[in-house]
Amino acid sequence: MSGDIEARTAAEGTVVRYQVDPTMSRFTIKVSASGLLAGIGHNPTIAIRDFAGEASFVPESLDGASLRVMVKPDSFQVTDDVNEHDKVDIENRMKQDVLETGRYREIAFESSSIELKKLGNSYFVANISGRLTLHGVTRELPIVCQVAVNGDTLRGYGELSVRQTDFGIRLVSVAGGTLKVKDEVKCSFDLVARK
Whether 150 is covered by a domain: the verdict is yes
Q: Is residue 2 part of a domain?
A: no
Assess if residue 10 is contained within a domain.
Answer: no
Domain CATH number, residue 56: 2.40.128.110
Residue 8 belongs to some domain of the structure: no
For residue 112, being part of any structural domain is answered with yes
**Is position 81 within any domain?**
yes
Give how far Cα 58 sits from Cα of 14, 19, 62, 67, Å: 6, 15, 5, 13
| Residue numbers in the chain where pLDDT is lower than 50 | 1-11, 36-38, 40, 175, 178
In a domain, 4, yes or no: no
Provide the domain count of the chain: 1
On whether residue 62 sits in a domain, the answer given is yes
Question: What range defines the domain where residue 190 resides?
Answer: 16-194
**HEC sequence for the chain:** CHHHHHHHHHHHCCCEEEEECCCCCEEEEECCEECCCHHHCCCCEEEECCEEEEEEECCCCCCCCEEEEEECHHHEEECCCCCHHHHHHHHHHHHHHHCCCCCCCCEEEEEEEEEEEECCCCEEEEEEEEEEEECCEEEEEEEEEEEEEECCEEEEEEEEEEEHHHHCCCCCEEHHHCEEECCEEEEEEEEEEEC
pLDDT in tens, 56-105: 988 878 888 999 999 999 999 989 877 888 788 888 888 998 999 999 99
Q: What is the pLDDT of residue 37?
A: 37
